[in-house]
Amino acid sequence: MKILIVGYGKMGRTIEKIAKERGNEVPLIVDTNGQSFFDDIPEGAADVAIEFTQPEAAFDNIKACLERKIPVVSGTTGWLERKPEVEEIAKANGSAFFYASNYSIGVNLFFHLNKYLAKLMSGQQQYKVEMEEIHHTQKLDAPSGTAITLAEGIIENLESATSWVLDEGGEVKKGEVPIVALREPEVPGTHSIKFSSEVDEIEIKHTAHSRQGFAEGAVTAAEWLVGKKGVFGMEDMLRF
């Protein structure tokens, strides 16, 4: 399989290493949002693209690939207000788009554990829920896409939760799920959810030790996506 890597930061380099170890080719790499680069891609040069860039560049990069019928696996967060547009572009061009806020298999299991715990806690009004996420200082968006996905899972399953809010020390209103977003050097990603009462607390937590798990999941998704048409996510690939 021939993979086009869009975004050649730490994640892009890790993806390249893993892709080649698994027997794939990486004939093309782009590290900037340049339309001329995509115009010069010959037909058949890539079977799939893996895109990890910046929020301001993601839409144009993904659109350029899909219009050339190159399926895209994307992990960029902070641009999702335009995700419905990308999905329509994929369908219109007979291509495929795969998105996840986090490609770690462990995190996606954690997503489901989070939903199950929230469902168990519905009706237990004595507990208040809060979240914390920690990422490396180069991560620009806050809260993280993973934290937002976790918050959405809580809102979907916890009767008392209606929305999430970035906790910057202000008042948290009834129904809001507060998210504390911290940035520290060399932290791949840590997410925790805590339900607290006056007498006890319940906490679940996922800690990534490296980018390896994220990159392996993205390459696995790319291998799975080749030959498909439509819009997909981790739940489709993992068959939850």
The pLDDT of residue 32 is: 63
49 contacts: CB under 8 Å, gap ≥ 6: 3, 4, 5, 6, 65, 70, 71, 72, 73
pLDDT at position 31: 81
Q: Which of 139, 173, 191, 206 is catalytic?
A: 139
Mean pLDDT, residues 143-148 = 91
Model pLDDT for residues 62-94, shown as the tens digit of each residue: 999 999 999 999 999 889 999 999 999 999 999
Q: Which of 63, 135, 191, 206 is catalytic?
A: 135
- Active site (annotated) includes residue 112: no
pLDDT tens-place string over residues 192-230 = 999 999 999 999 999 988 888 889 999 999 999 999 999
The reply to whether 2 belongs to the active site is no
pLDDT tens, position by position, 35-66: 567 878 887 889 999 999 989 999 999 999 99
Residues paired with residue 51 on neighbouring β-strands, in sequence order: 6, 74
Mean pLDDT over each residue of the chain, to the nearest integer = 92
